[in-house]
Structure 1
């Protein structure tokens, strides 16, 4: 049976099972089972047991539930209110004023969360009511939050980076280090767009608050100290080579528990809620990863990744052509799947092709994170759009429209990363030397 027919059958099975409402992790396992039963001589049951156990018992994966739990703990603290109070005085003189709190707030919270949805929801709960009360334009407030919320994936620690590192066998610590400069640059691009938009529409920006002295600004910023110390402890321990990503995640959980206790928001109820919230999210991700590992093995036995890589090689695409093709592929895929599913579902097929094209897996990891960020604001399955719809009660189409300029800015970011790969590779190279 030719490859096209096999591929068509497996894709049809995937969408049929997904459409029937079966969980994504079980769907991936089901498609892998069908593939191995029909097109491979190896017993599917034996392969599934070995593969799922191997993927679930990976020590590298331990960082994932710990970072998720850390984000859940901070999600239930007074961090968001303190963050707005500390940031607002410094934004008053920038074009766009308090609209920048969405970008800066998301960038800061991303450095202790790792989740795009948690970043978007936490900062949104704080900023949207405040911006509406002060008279800032609704579309810009929602759009900038939708775009900036995706920084939760790019600025380390990042759940997607851990998933990519595990599935593509790339150092998670190196990925974390590589994500710092692109994350900061994307935040600056978002803020630059807000400033330019505000200069073009000055009538839509409310007047500045009464001026504050430097001492008053510094006094207001004291509330940022705990979260800055936590970021320094988690990321600093990785960059200094003191801790692995898993050990830093454990340090982050301990620090967030201490921070929550000092704020007075650590009760038995919030502790249980954070633990259960983190457990539920991790179990969902772990099931997807297990199903994807089995599907990757099945694809290997059938030979599809090798044949796909050979087919793409016959197209004679340049590296830029391949990146362009993959960007379009992931943006379309993002219309139907969440980011984690996109990564784990495609890595087994895509990585041989990427390596054959001579693309650095570390660079490709950050590229993947950017295109998954695009998927977060792409209807109909953009997670950030759903989060904002629940918070604002607006139509999903309206929210997608407000986020579209930030989607285009992410496309610009991909172009910049291709033209200047040093943005990604500079810090990891410095750490090695």
Structure 2
């Protein structure tokens, strides 16, 4: 049995750079809000001309991020589908793991919608604070957020013109086409398949490099956008951002807690035993914010504490790190639903369904990307599918470092849960200590 190769982690230098970038972006957000509040009181040299130029800088940075969405999402999905196809050929154990990945990702997307809407019903956005926050961001296009009937949603699933769909941000049709194209590649002979997969892998890597270049200017872009928000909302915008962080984090925490009874019931392991087994891996996840960095500890805990065979752990856990990220639809849908509430939108069932389907498919391709890159690449297509403007995302990117901790903990917990569940088909004895 051939194991699916594990993605190579980014160099320590890049990881340190991204970590430092998170700190600088957070600082830029705080300084931008404070500067905007100060300008609101004392004014700024140059008046409207200066503030207009600052707004233009923020919009330029946002547009630079947006230009990568279509090629990055399409290429990542094509490569991701090809990877899943290769994994399915590694044997019965891999196919069993893939089935559980699919079932849990689908269940997570349903949970995400229920959790986000439930939390916002119990703890709604402060209307005044939300209005002030929105007043400072660039205006959204008039055609964004319109509620389409379900029949229109059905028509968009298969785009009549893929190029036009890409140009008009009809992201669901583009995603569906990418999935079909990816599966079609798997039916080609190797001499045709390998060059095409390599091509799209190169495109995705090139787009990731472009995004990293754009993110190097993130402190400047976030400062400019935050200053515009500060001009309208002052420091009160910080309260709405803190509320956003809490809602997204609580959604992911709820999913983490659900992994425990799932492991007990489907994995047939005692609750205390499972909690003891996953705790060290969760600690590593908090400190590194990387599922890949947590992989050695996950394998060790699965084998020594969860009675998973080394062969099963050696295949399922790397496969999970490469292909399975259960928190992706949970957190990403929570972000988009929060933005919809912030803009006062009421998405139709068709738009919610499109967002859920997009979230599930996007989770395949975005696994393994650094948090700053995966946030925009994962959330923006879901926003477009639900009809939610993208203008809030740069500010939310600045505070993503906090929810990202819970995302990683959730991924690690879910990976170990699946490893234990899959091991039950390999004749592992029930353990309830």
Both proteins in one fold, TM over 0.5: no
Question: So what's the TM-score if we normalise by structure 1?
Answer: 0.34
Question: Which structure ranks higher in relative contact order (CA pairs < 8 Å, sequence separation ≥ 6)?
Answer: 2
